[in-house]
């Protein structure tokens, strides 16, 4: 609607009630804070036709009224403060008061925050070679200005260390380079999309990022968790990724406690992922993927490369397939050394493994498209309309490749010494940014 308004045409969005705060936040973020809208009670997507009609008819008078009247007053913008001060009986009490206040404002992740004091922020800025006011990027989905100082403030709340700052800054930059708008539409989706951070190169070992059982809690993953948390706080407070505002996820996911891992380069038979992305092996880089679910794919005895890869190929086929002009889904595969090493030892390059997965990851077209009725569905592209002439059973019998090409499978060696592969639907394609340029 904002884009239509910019073309000189009056536009009034019809917004379902749950999305009112999202509409206000989005209008503000996308430079038209006074955009007017009409509220209806229910979301249209899965609503019966008669209810769609009745709730729209009930909103017509309001819609016409907005189109034919002047805006009485602008919406009040959120108040911005530069310094907060909290006092208590002792330091612990003051920190607790800070936490209570920050959580009420939704600035945190519901876990205790470290005080982002000036001293803590300055120490983090010393961990990079950039000045405090350097603009790293506009951070999606709300495109707040991610300066080094703002990144440091959020990193301080996560308990980050100065040596972790270059990784966090590079991660923020990488998110902004995904797709044409930093994955904005997926981050704002009603599905559980969330970033996944993967670090390659010498810095991972230098600062202690775990490449083995890397997604769990505990001492071994302290650095992983801290970097991921710092990134997620930046995403909230700089990117405005607040639940119910610009994050409209239906159920949610623990992946939104953003994870950071390192690739297990020492135990991999192949070149590391950042080399595939154009970096040198001795350089350090971080890649950001947008994930949408996960599945543990276990193998209980295969020792041949073909057997191991067929297990992963079949495990990759869960989920849905778009009927748009292009099918752009991807799969992010965290392959543990106990799978990767025998596959590599038996002659498979990483490219060969991806091609094998693509060739064997096939599924029933009819099953993958059951989430989207064909008849009268505006989201079904013209090149798929021929399916309307086939029966449901005929569609079920059609076997098609899961993804468009082998290029849409991303294989990274991550994990400990067990044959359990993690497969995650993902997309759009990841972005990779060098870390060394930010080291102080």
Distance of alpha carbon 56 from alpha carbon 40, whole angstroms: 7
Domain count for the chain, please give it: 1
Q: What is the pLDDT of residue 75?
A: 67
Average pLDDT (82-98) is 94
Q: 């380069």: which residue's tokens? A: 265
Each residue's pLDDT tens digit, 414-429: 999 888 999 999 999 9
**Angle between helical axes of 222-237 and 148-158 (0-180°, round to 10):** 130
CA dist list (Å): 125 to 161, 232, 238, 357, 436: 10, 18, 17, 44, 15
Q: What is the pLDDT of residue 219?
A: 96
Each residue's pLDDT tens digit, 377-420: 667 888 888 998 999 999 999 999 999 999 999 999 999 988 89
Band (pLDDT 50/70/90 cuts) for residue 184 is confident
- Which is it for strands 259-262 and 295-298: parallel, antiparallel or unpaired? unpaired
Structural tokens at position 307? 């057997």
Query: Could you give the 3-state DSSP secondary structure of residue 108?
Result: coil
Residue 345 scores a pLDDT above 90: yes
Residue 77 scores a pLDDT above 70: no
The contacts of residue 15 (CB under 8 Å, 6+ apart) are 22, 23, 37, 38, 39, 40
The contacts of residue 83 (CB under 8 Å, 6+ apart) are none
Is residue 54 included in any domain, yes or no? yes
Is residue 435 included in any domain, yes or no? no
Q: What's the length of the chain? A: 440
Whether the CB-CB separation of 331 and 403 falls below 8 Å is answered with yes
Q: What is the pLDDT of residue 296?
A: 96
Residue 367 scores a pLDDT above 70: yes
Q: 């009268």: which residue's tokens? A: 376
Distance of alpha carbon 130 from alpha carbon 434, whole angstroms: 15
Q: What is the pLDDT of residue 74?
A: 62
Average pLDDT, the chain: 93
Structural tokens at position 325? 């002009």
pLDDT over 90 for what percent of the chain? 74
Average pLDDT (89-111) is 96
If one compares 75 and 181, the residue with the highest pLDDT of the two is 181
Which residues form the domain of 34? 2-67
Each residue's pLDDT tens digit, 186-228: 899 989 999 999 999 999 999 999 999 999 999 999 999 999 9
Whether the CB-CB separation of 221 and 416 falls below 8 Å is answered with no
Is residue 55 included in any domain, yes or no? yes
Query: Could you give the 3-state DSSP secondary structure of residue 68?
Result: coil
**Backbone angles phi and psi of 104, in degrees to 5:** -60, -35
Is residue 41 included in any domain, yes or no? yes
Q: What is the pLDDT of residue 400?
A: 93
Each residue's pLDDT tens digit, 228-280: 999 999 999 999 999 988 899 999 999 999 999 999 999 999 999 999 999 99
DSSP for 129-161, please give it: SS-TT-EEEEETTTTEEEEHHHHHHHHHHHT--
Prediction pTM value? 0.91
Closest CA to 364 of 314, 404, 318, 399: 399
> What's the distance, CA 148 to chain centroid?
21
Is residue 239 included in any domain, yes or no? no
Whether the CB-CB separation of 378 and 370 falls below 8 Å is answered with no
Residue 13 scores a pLDDT above 80: yes
Residue 182 scores a pLDDT above 80: no
Q: What is the pLDDT of residue 377?
A: 64
Ramachandran quadrant class, 240 (left: phi over 0; alpha: psi -120 to 50; beta: rest): left
Q: What is the pLDDT of residue 209?
A: 98
Is residue 21 included in any domain, yes or no? yes
Average pLDDT (103-111) is 95
Distance of alpha carbon 134 from alpha carbon 147, whole angstroms: 5
CA dist list (Å): 67 to 35, 70, 71: 11, 8, 10
Is residue 50 included in any domain, yes or no? yes
Structural tokens at position 110? 């519901």
Structural tokens at position 29? 């973020």
Is residue 175 included in any domain, yes or no? no
Distance of alpha carbon 213 from alpha carbon 337, whole angstroms: 11
Band (pLDDT 50/70/90 cuts) for residue 83 is confident
If one compares 17 and 3, the residue with the highest pLDDT of the two is 3
């Amino acid at each position: 609607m904002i884009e239509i308004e910019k073309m000189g045409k009056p536009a009034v969005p019809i917004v379902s009630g749950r999305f009112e705060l999202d509409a206000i936040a989005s209008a503000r973020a996308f430079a038209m804070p006074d955009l007017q809208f009409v509220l209806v009670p229910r979301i249209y997507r899965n609503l019966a036709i008669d209810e769609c009609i009745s709730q729209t008819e009930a909103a017509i008078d309001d819609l016409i009224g907005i189109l034919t009247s002047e805006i009485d007053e602008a919406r009040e913008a959120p108040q911005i403060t530069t310094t907060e001060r909290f006092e208590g009986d002792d330091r612990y009490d003051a920190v607790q008061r800070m936490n209570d206040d920050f959580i009420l404002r939704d600035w945190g992740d519901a876990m205790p925050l470290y005080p982002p004091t000036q001293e803590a922020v300055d120490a983090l800025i010393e961990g990079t070679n950039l000045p405090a006011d350097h603009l790293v990027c506009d951070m999606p989905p709300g495109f707040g200005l991610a300066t080094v100082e703002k990144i440091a403030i959020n990193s301080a709340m996560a308990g980050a260390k100065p040596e972790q700052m270059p990784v966090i800054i590079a991660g923020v930059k990488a998110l902004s380079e995904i797709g044409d708008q930093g994955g904005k539409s997926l981050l704002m989706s009603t599905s559980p999309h969330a970033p996944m951070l993967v670090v390659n190169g010498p810095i991972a070992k230098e600062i202690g990022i775990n490449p083995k059982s890397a997604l769990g809690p505990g001492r071994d993953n302290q650095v992983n968790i801290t970097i991921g948390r710092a990134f997620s706080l930046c995403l909230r407070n700089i990117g405005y990724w607040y639940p119910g505002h610009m994050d409209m996820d239906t159920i949610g996911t623990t992946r939104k406690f953003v994870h950071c891992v390192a690739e297990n380069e020492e135990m991999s038979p192949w070149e590391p992922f950042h080399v595939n992305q154009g970096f040198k092996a001795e350089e350090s880089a971080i890649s950001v993927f947008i994930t949408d679910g996960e599945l543990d794919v276990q193998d209980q005895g295969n020792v041949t490369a073909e057997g191991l890869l067929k297990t992963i190929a079949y495990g990759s086929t869960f989920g849905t397939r778009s009927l748009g002009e292009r099918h752009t889904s991807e799969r992010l595969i965290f392959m543990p050394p106990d799978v990767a090493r025998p596959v590599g030892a038996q002659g498979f390059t990483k490219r060969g493994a991806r091609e094998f997965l693509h060739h064997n990851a096939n599924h029933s077209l009819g099953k993958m498209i059951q989430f989207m009725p064909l008849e009268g569905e505006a989201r079904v592209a013209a090149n798929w309309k021929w399916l309307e002439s086939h029966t449901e059973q005929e569609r079920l019998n059609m076997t098609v490749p899961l993804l468009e090409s082998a290029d849409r499978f991303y294989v990274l060696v991550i994990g400990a010494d067990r044959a359990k592969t993690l497969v995650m639907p993902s997309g759009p394609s990841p972005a990779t940014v060098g870390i060394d340029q930010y080291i102080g």
